[in-house]
């Protein structure tokens, strides 16, 4: 089953990439700066966080001297979270929002999550590139260790795809799922160590939040971008296994419900 799906997606790779390009052009269609906004927006966000927290608020991050430590800590977590939340938010309504396309054209339905994934990854790559450029300017570039970002992102993408595919399929039959996911994401953000350090929490709460599969992924990004060290690979076993389990379950549900999607839509 997975091999067959991969062959189908590969056969439609031209359609997938053309859809990604069309989506990006449509996003900035009619604006004076066009695709330049794809760089301006993330650059302004990174610059804002860096200047506000490093130069105005002067927050201290225990164990990490220097004015930019908390800014790097914050941006590393936020960039990872933004990729996760954007992709999950798009995936949950991917079939419902493309109902007309599914009714008119014949193509693998899993092309839609792939289009959303590639589009989100392209945006993330631009933002991460700008962030790494800023780290180079301030003398905090992590060096070759930055390559460890790739396997961490792979686990994150697989986890988000599995969860998003399940939620997207269920949303076709129960339209409240999209609203529920949006609500869950608001709570999930604050249950993830992005703007705070887990050490400030009571021990019992730290143990509870350790069940959050995003936590080891955020920690891994902190290790790479802030500490300039390889992450603790063993800590990624839990989110990786969960990601593979969710993806396998999502594909099985897709296999059973896929033929009914167009009729239900």
Collapsed DSSP state (helix, strand, coil) of residue 102:
helix
Q: Which of 206, 231, 212 is nearest to 154 (CA)?
A: 231
Asked if residue 70 lies in contact with residue 155, where contact means CB atoms within 8 angstroms, the answer is: no
pTM, full prediction = 0.91
Task: Let me know how long the chain is.
Answer: 265
Q: Which of 43, 46, 15 is nearest to 118 (CA)?
A: 15
Rounded Cα distance, 122 and 100, in Å: 25
In the chain, what is the straight-line distance between the N-terminal and C-terminal CA atoms, in Å? Answer: 24
Q: Which of 213, 220, 222, 216 is nearest to 195 (CA)?
A: 222
Q: Tens-digit pLDDT profile for the chain (265 aa)? A: 566 777 877 777 888 888 888 877 777 665 666 666 777 777 788 877 777 766 665 566 767 777 788 888 888 999 999 999 999 999 998 888 887 877 777 777 888 899 999 989 998 999 999 899 989 988 889 999 999 999 999 999 999 999 999 999 988 888 888 889 999 999 999 999 998 888 888 888 888 888 999 999 999 999 999 999 999 999 999 999 999 999 999 888 888 877 777 666 6
């Amino acid at each position: 089953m997975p091999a067959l799906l991969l062959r189908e997606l590969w056969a439609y790779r031209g359609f997938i990439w053309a859809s990604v390009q069309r989506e990006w052009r449509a996003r900035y269609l009619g604006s004076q700066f066009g695709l330049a906004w794809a760089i301006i927006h993330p650059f302004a966000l990174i610059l804002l966080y860096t200047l506000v927290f490093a130069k105005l608020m002067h927050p201290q991050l225990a164990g990490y001297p220097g004015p930019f430590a908390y800014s790097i800590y914050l941006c590393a977590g936020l960039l990872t979270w933004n990729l996760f939340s954007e992709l999950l938010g798009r995936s949950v309504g991917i079939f419902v929002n493309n109902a007309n396309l599914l009714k008119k054209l014949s193509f693998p339905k899993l092309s839609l999550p792939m289009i959303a994934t590639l589009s989100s990854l392209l945006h993330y790559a631009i933002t991460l590139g700008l962030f790494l450029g800023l780290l180079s300017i301030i003398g905090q570039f992590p060096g070759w260790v930055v390559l460890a970002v790739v396997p961490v992102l792979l686990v994150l993408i697989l986890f988000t795809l599995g969860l998003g595919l399940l939620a997207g399929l269920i949303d076709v039959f129960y339209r409240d799922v999209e609203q529920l996911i949006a609500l869950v994401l608001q709570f999930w953000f604050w249950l993830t160590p992005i703007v705070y350090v887990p050490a400030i929490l009571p021990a019992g709460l730290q143990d509870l939040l350790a069940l959050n599969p995003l936590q080891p992924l955020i920690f891994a990004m902190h290790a790479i971008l802030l500490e300039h060290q390889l992450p603790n690979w063993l800590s990624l076993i839990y989110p990786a296994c969960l990601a593979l389990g969710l993806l396998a379950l999502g594909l099985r549900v897709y296999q059973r419900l896929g033929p009914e999607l167009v009729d239900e839509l």
